[in-house]
């Protein structure tokens, strides 16, 4: 069904006239301090009768006034906002940077009766059913964030390859100086160096932060003043990494 038809049906279900929608949008624009939220009667007629696509602000107004889910309405216009994370994976960036999290996570719900978590298994064959889990359940509490290791970032290679997606815990910003038995246990931190980001090992010496690359990397250590020149955003607690070039 056309988006224009769905918009008209949503308005009619609520018993709203063009004038009602215009007035509600004017009040919303005044509340938000942005005239772009206003939907005049002529524009609303264009949306419903001529197939015109609302701008971002006017789409928000329509969703607010009609009590609609913006994610659903965006799909009416063939814009899958809930797929932005997956679509973005095909567009690697050369520089390391924070990344917006996925809206949903696809998780295994039921395993084959023969699945034994103690053994290494081909998981795709052992899962009987998958289900989308709303990422907003976790993202509503901003404990975890995501980072992307740039395709030209070789700081932690081969331990952490370029193009890796890392899960960050912002509550773990204090640099640990001991307590690990191997390089695999040593904490990796995501650091804002003002001109960009580093994903690396760290050592803290009062107001100086030593950024350490993997010894097999061609990168060299850096020393930054903190907090002026560098700030630890969180510790890496998870990683999704390709073992071959993508």
Series of mean pLDDT values for 10-residue runs along the chain (246 residues): 91 94 96 96 95 95 94 91 77 80 64 67 61 50 77 92 88 91 94 91 93 95 94 91 71
The third-level CATH classification (topology) of the domain covering 3-76 is: 434 Repressor (Amino-terminal Domain) (1.10.260)
In 3-state terms, what secondary structure has residue 135? Answer: coil
Position 127 scores a pLDDT of: 67
**Cis geometry, peptide bond prior to residue 222 (ω within 30 degrees of 0):** no
Angle between helices 56-66 and 18-32 (to 10 degrees): 110
Q: Where are the alpha helices (DSSP H) in 117-234?
A: 123-126, 136-139
* Structural domain spans, the chain: 3-76, 145-240
Class for the domain spanning 145-240: mainly beta
Q: Which two tokens stand for residue 146?
A: 């995501």
Of 149, 151, 152, 207, nearest in space to 175 by CA: 207
Position 160 scores a pLDDT of: 93
């Amino acid at each position: 069904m056309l988006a224009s038809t769905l918009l008209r049906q949503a308005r009619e279900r609520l018993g709203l006239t063009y004038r009602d929608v215009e007035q509600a949008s004017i009040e919303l624009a005044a509340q938000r301090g942005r005239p772009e939220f206003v939907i005049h009667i002529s524009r609303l007629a264009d949306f419903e009768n001529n197939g015109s696509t609302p701008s971002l602000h006017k789409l928000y107004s329509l969703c607010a006034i009609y009590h609609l889910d913006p994610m659903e309405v965006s799909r009416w216009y063939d814009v899958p906002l809930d797929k932005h994370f997956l679509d973005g994976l095909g567009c690697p960036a050369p520089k390391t940077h924070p990344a917006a999290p996925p809206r949903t996570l696809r998780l295994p719900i039921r395993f084959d009766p023969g699945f034994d978590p103690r053994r290494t298994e081909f998981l795709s064959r052992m899962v009987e059913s998958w289900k989308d889990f709303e990422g907003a359940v976790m993202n509503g509490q901003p404990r975890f964030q995501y980072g992307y290791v740039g395709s030209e970032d070789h700081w932690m290679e081969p331990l952490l390859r370029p193009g890796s997606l890392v899960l960050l815990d912002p509550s773990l910003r204090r640099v640990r100086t001991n307590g690990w038995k191997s390089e695999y246990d040593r904490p990796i931190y995501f650091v804002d160096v003002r001109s960009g980001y580093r994903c690396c090992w760290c050592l803290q010496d009062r107001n100086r932060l030593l950024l350490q690359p993997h010894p097999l990397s061609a990168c060299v250590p850096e020393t930054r003043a903190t907090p002026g020149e560098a700030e630890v955003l969180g510790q890496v607690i998870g990683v999704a990494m390709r073992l071959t070039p993508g």
